Amino acid sequence: MGVALVTGASSGLGREFAEQLAGRGHDLVLVARQADRLGRAAEELRARHGVVVETVVADLADRSQLQRVADRLADPGRPVDLLVNNAGFGSRRGFVRNDLAEEEAAVDLMVRAVMVLSHAAGRAMRERGRGAILNVSSVASFAVMGHYSAIKSYVTVFSEALATELAPHGVTVTAVCPGFVHTEFHQRAEMDMSRLPEALWLDAPSVVREALAAVSAGRVVSVPSPVYKAVVGLLRVVPRRLTRGVSGSLATRRRPKDRTG
């Protein structure tokens, strides 16, 4: 079934991607920052599915550590058939209120790392004439919801452009754009999501199944769930000024106080 490399693989959607890919018989290269959690995930997957699991402990916001993962993707002797760019994080503060260092780290992790790893994988896959890249974006990429929205807009548009470039070479690129998903994502960012209606929440296994189905079908952009497909359809036709107004109002009402405030 080939080899899949998954970033942010120790928890959340990344852990679910690893689980489902292993269940389909893929050997894995798992990348994450926390060695202990990554090691436990690898042991569980080997025991449950009998697949080969390699681990790479790396902080992808660090350029030298990112390069180690890029070198693994480029290694012609150990080809990777599917790259899943999943690593990321959110912030509970607005752009100006937040520390600039955290915003720079977000760009390094969710823009630069996606670019560097896609470049390494794309080149190697193009030479072999096969392969797939799956970039985890967000419904926020179609909206106006702060710096995170801008970052994910890059991921979606970049994926579309790269898909066009690599299609003649037998390589597919897919951006999956989920809405709110039940994972550790919002808890780690210390976001208060208690007022969000349950109807807007997705479960990780369903999101991952739909994302992998989109990869298999060669779809360039995948929006899981009918609810969010409708949301994105609306966002595509509503005047941008209205989108800005609604998104700004929602962000203001949801934003918690700073811990120092």
- Residues labelled catalytic: 148
- Please give the structure tokens belonging to residue 108: 């390094």
Complete DSSP assignment for 149-187 = HHHHHHHHHHHHHHHHHHGGGTEEEEEE---EEESSHHH
CA geometry: angle at 161 spanning 106 and 227, to 5°? 70
- Quick one: angle between helices 63-74 and 113-128, nearest 10? 10
8 A C-beta contact, residue 218 and residue 134: no
In angstroms, rounded to a whole number, what is the distance separating the alpha carbons of residues 230 and 252?
Answer: 24
- Please give the structure tokens belonging to residue 238: 């509503």
In angstroms, rounded to a whole number, what is the distance separating the alpha carbons of residues 103 and 90?
Answer: 10
How many CB atoms neighbour CB 208 within 10 A? Answer: 27
Q: Which of 227, 134, 118 has the alpha carbon at shortest distance from 176?
A: 134
> What is the three-class DSSP state of 58?
coil
- Please give the structure tokens belonging to residue 243: 């989108």
Q: Which helix (H) or strand (E) holds 37?
A: helix 35-49
